[in-house]
Amino acid sequence: MEQADFIRDARRLVEVLDRVVVGYSVEKRVVLASLLANGHVLLEGPPGIAKTTLAKALARAFGLLDSRVSIGGVEYRGFSRIQFTPDLLPSDVTGSLVYNPVTREFEPRLGPIFAYIVLVDEVNRATPRTQSALLEAMQERQVTIGGRTYPLEDRKAGKFFAVLATQNPVEQEGTYPLPEAQLDRFITRVVFPYPRALEEEKSILRLHAQRLSEPLEDLESILDPKWLHAAQSFVAEQVAVQDDVLDYVSQLVRFTRPEVSATAREFFELGASPRAGIALLRVAKAWAMLEGRTVATRRDVDAVAFPVLNHRVIPKLDRVIEAEEAVGRYSARYEATRRGLEEIMKSIRAL
């Protein structure tokens, strides 16, 4: 495939999402950029704002919503949804050996993680053991059951693996918040606020006004699942980064660290790791591709800095409290982080 084909197909993907999810123009493209960077995404926001719809629309676009695919004797679902609850066991996610009384042998029963797109709802409601099993599988892109290891991703066969996990930051009771070290496994944390404008609320209603079923049920598949790996390779290998972009990403990540910069000391308790820098570069390149370009610029880095970095830094408590007065308790942490990152970008521009 040619450059122009990838860019055109990526645009079609954006259009599909636009048809069923009103608003969230930046958020939707950040989710796509994350997948193009071969990452997993944490979707954060209250219930009822189209997180599930977004995940299912993606599955639809790849013709994966109700499909099953067998690769090398392993059966994968196109899409699976796992509701995390306190009684969920690691094996409910990954799978286990079950005894077959007919053959008198133990046989593997593959868990719902054996899918192309896995939607994990309320990831903070399962116990740390189950969360760890998920995060390990996400990281390793494979699962071991009864001594045999199964791939979750198979680039030769075009079998991709993407986890979209949701959590509601408002309800904290009965949850097990993911520690920073585990949040780091998500390439982005995409924060979904309530719709931003009255017109958006109305457009959502209009979408539903004359029908009982979900609009996403009308979506056709537009791309083969194999496309995603090809597009990921295209972004990784063909989207260029000039040296000034590398300078910028290294400075940005470095200057979030309190031990390095005075601005960071004002805003953050903890700064971003080198892994965060790699993620920032990858997502910025994918963002450039979604914008129809094959060269990533500083502006692409700026565009994705918040979703890539917000869950990897810890804002200072007094900044969070300060932000509470302006935006309320629910958004204060994001706001404090956003302000800190903006100040750091400004300080780099002034160098």
| Cα dihedral 298/304/305/306 (nearest 10) | 150
Instruction: Give strand pairing partners of 154.
Output: 159
Tell me the number of residues near Mg ion by CB under 5 A: 1
Q: Does 273 bind ligand ADP (CB under 6 A)?
A: no
First to last CA, the chain: 41
Strand pairing category for 240-241 and 295-296: parallel
Determine the Cα–Cα distance for residues 63 and 13; give it in Å rounded to an integer. Answer: 12
Among 89, 204, 278, 314, binds ligand ADP (CB under 6 A): 204
Between strands 188-191 and 41-44, the pairing is parallel
- Could you tell me if 132 and 93 are in contact, meaning their C-beta atoms sit under 8 angstroms apart? no
Q: State in angstroms the smallest separation of the CB of 52 from ligand ADP.
A: 3
Which CB sits closer to ligand ADP, 49 or 272? Answer: 49
Among 77, 25, 96, CA closest to 54: 25
Minimum gap (Å) between residue 233 Cβ and ligand ADP: 31
To the nearest whole angstrom, how small is the minimum distance from the Cβ of residue 48 to ligand ADP? 5
What is the dihedral sign for C-alpha 301, 302, 308, 309?
Answer: positive
| Contact flags string 38-57 toward ligand ADP, x per CB under 6 A | ---------xxxxxxx----
Helix (H) or strand (E) holding 98: strand 95-100
Residue 22 in the binding site for ligand ADP (CB under 6 A): yes
Smallest distance, Å, CB 132 to Mg ion? Answer: 23
Closest to 11 measured CA to CA, from 39, 32, 38:
32
105-110/95-100 β-pairing: antiparallel
Burial tier of 147 (Cβ tally within 10 Å: 0-12, 13-18, 19+): exposed
Q: Is 26 in the site for ligand ADP (CB under 6 A)?
A: no
Q: How far is the CB of 324 from ligand ADP (least distance, A)?
A: 24
Instruction: Pick between residue 192 and residue 234 the one whose CB is nearest to Mg ion.
Output: 192
Comparing CB distances to Mg ion, the nearer of 52 and 263 is 52
Binding mask 150-189 for ligand ADP (x = CB under 6 A): ----------------------------------------
Cβ 170 to ligand ADP, closest distance in Å?
13
Residue nearest to Mg ion (CB): 52
> Which of 10, 16, 17, 21 touches ligand ADP (CB under 6 A)?
21
Q: Pick one of ligand ADP, Mg ion, none as the site partner of residue 101 (Cβ within 5 to 8 A by kind).
A: none
CA 110 from centroid of its chain's CA atoms = 24
Tell me the site size for ligand ADP, rule CB under 6 A: 14
Rg over alpha carbons for the chain, rounded to the nearest Å, is 21
Least separation in angstroms between residue 228's CB and ligand ADP is: 22
Residue 103 or 210 having the CB closest to ligand ADP = 210
Contacting Mg ion within 34-53 (CB under 5 A): 52
Contact 55, 117 (CB under 8 A): yes
Alpha carbons 296 and 248: distance in angstroms, whole number: 12
* Residues making contact with ligand ADP (CB under 6 A): 21-23, 47-53, 195, 204, 207, 214
* Residues making contact with Mg ion (CB under 5 A): 52
